Structure 1
Amino acid sequence: MLLTQCSFCAVDLGLTLGKKCGRCSTRYCGAACQVQHWKEGGHDKLCRLIKKGGGAEQYNANKKYTEAVAVAAACAEDTKGQTCYICTQALHWKTKEGLVRGCACRGTAGFAHVSCLAEQAKILFAEAEENNLGDKAMNERWTRWHKCSLCNQDYHGTVACALGWACWKTYVGRPEGHWIPGAAMALLGSGLSNVNLHEDALSVREAELARLRRFGGLEETILAMRRNIANSHQKLGRNEQALRLMGDVFSGYVKLNGEEHEQTLLAAHNYANSLLCLKRFEEAKSLMRKTIPVARRVLGESNQTLKMRAMYATALYDDPAATRGDLREATTTLEDIERTTRRVLGGAHPLVRTIERNLQEARGALYARESGAVESIREGVGAMTAGGA
């Protein structure tokens, strides 16, 4: 993880407290822990190796990247007989790593080595920097760190995590006040969240927020990082804390960009999700009824719009006060969304699998309600018949 703790006692240091080893920059809360780590923690054997590897932060990033690539390759499916679309080899010529495919590509498309994806992103972004191609080109090329160039969908799961570490290890040495290390930290936090390492993701995101505030980051960037921190708290079950943050972030985006901006719509989605986690169904449904028409007008039937519609359907069938009409609407909405997402993203995508589960739950709730209604009618008819006899 980003080195924000004492390497011996693990006390939190943030980004600025404590002291560092003069040779390799390993961080400690004080001299006592540094001495103990040298004597008892094995630092005497690792210090020169860490320095040779670029210092503590770079050494740690390289190590974590190697581990993440191994996990991604081990988790990959259907790679037998396939080759990397970048280097055309089955095994990477240097690292000997296997293939991965963590996007929406299907058939024989999209297989690659994480190392090849990372190297391609690194080269393309470096060209944009060296040739001063402008912000638009820089942003487009930066997306290669997290988006497949073939299907144009974000990487997910273990591949997203491995590419997050690849991006961080590539830019960890840049000046701390530059935007690139911050963007790499944000990507790493997202990758860690993709594999449910939410405590680690929270640590990265809080470190990035502290960096932004220290160097006077833009308000929109700070709002985005606070939103990500709220997401981490929610994943960790800290729903009240997440809701407070999400409410503040949503209000901040409305003031900054207005109600029809893409980031405002994303903030509304996250705020509604926080409300659902606390079973505040009416508030969540009210917010989605107001926001979904705007999203469809501004974003079309994008992934974000589909997620918002799925959340609204979930609020409909999860609400204990749901009517049969609510359950039918939830079921038909999810059926429509499931067809669309499957066509666009493929059956293996996490969003498709989530919507499939939601659809099964909605159908189950509707079946239970309608079966109960039929049984009630039968009982009523039986009572009337018995009374007539």
Structure 2
Amino acid sequence: MPLPLYLLAVAVFAMGTSEFMLAGLLPDIASDFDVSVGTAGALTPAFAIGMVVGAPLGAALARNWPRRSSLLAFVLTFAAAHAAGAVTTGFTVLFATRVVAALATAGFLAVALTAAATLVAPDKKGRALAVLLSGTTVATIAGVPAGSALGTTLGWRAMFWAVAALCLPAALAVLEGVPAGRPREKTAAGPALRAELAQLTRPRLLLVMLLGALVNAATFGSLTFLAPVVTDTAGLGELWVSVVLVLFGAGSLVGVTVAGRLADQRPGTVIAVGGPLLLAGWPALAVLADRPAVMCTLVFLLGALSFALGSTLVTRVLHEAAHAPTMAGSYATAALNAGAVAGPLLAATTLGTTAGDLGPLWTSTLLIAVALLIAWPLRSILASGRSAGFLP
């Protein structure tokens, strides 16, 4: 794999850390701004919503810019938003900085996903995306726990400064590793924005995007509310929450790595195996969550399966959106983050029911079941290494 892919993953690591870091910082933020934890919790969906909106908007604005310039602009905007958040004394300003950071993250990922796919041969797209997305999985393993420890020791503002500082080597990586050429070197032959947006009317593309959203909704619906499962259902101490999150992150890294080697030539295998296993895995976790050793093992496996299936569907979105070369990455980003918004919202509605803390796990089961029902008539398309409209 080309070196620029690994350099882009550095920036994705910083952004992934930022996206997930608030889970352990909300009580301190709420206390600092004299708001409730519930109010402070609005910072999390604000980021996800910003990602959904920012992906197509950022890609559309940057489609005619040189890739290096657009990626650099996004990563510096992201750093500035965190610096502003670190010094603000108003919760409204902090909320705004999270939205701006999300918009910059979405724009960066939209361009980076498309750039990653063009840096390698057509039959290696899946592996390229696995390298890029490994930045997110490493963030869940190392960045978020380290950030939680830093925030506990030095305060939540220190974590915001740390993320801003992490963007500096990422910016240098973009300058040194990403080609300066425009996203469409053959400008005359490139499709117009309207033509790229028209690809969203294709049922095959929309259905694959829907599948990606459903799988990610299942993933984040349970991941968001995993802490009470660890402490209440499994009866473990609070420190175990970080351990279990690291296990999930480690599993996700394994899943992305393995799927990256299969997503191009054998995507149907990943989906046919991973989908049913997830359908069995989420209810198994709900039933066996009171057994700590089993719970930890299942969390690792579910992390691997969720990200293996999710990254494979990202690859399928890029294949199906091949006639939208500058917007394809934004379609994948928007779909995944739509799931990241919807999943926790749906899961939260079950917490007050008889299912209690296990409600989100049953919600994930239902979401995966719906995804498999949709995928069944599409199995021949999903099993193909290429879409009919793929542009070599």
Which TM class, normalised by the smaller chain length? Answer: under 0.3
Tell me which protein shows more helix as a share of its residues. 2
Q: Which of the two has higher C-alpha Rg?
A: 1
TM-score, normalization by structure 2: 0.28
The higher relative CO (CA closer than 8 Å, separation ≥ 6) is in: 2
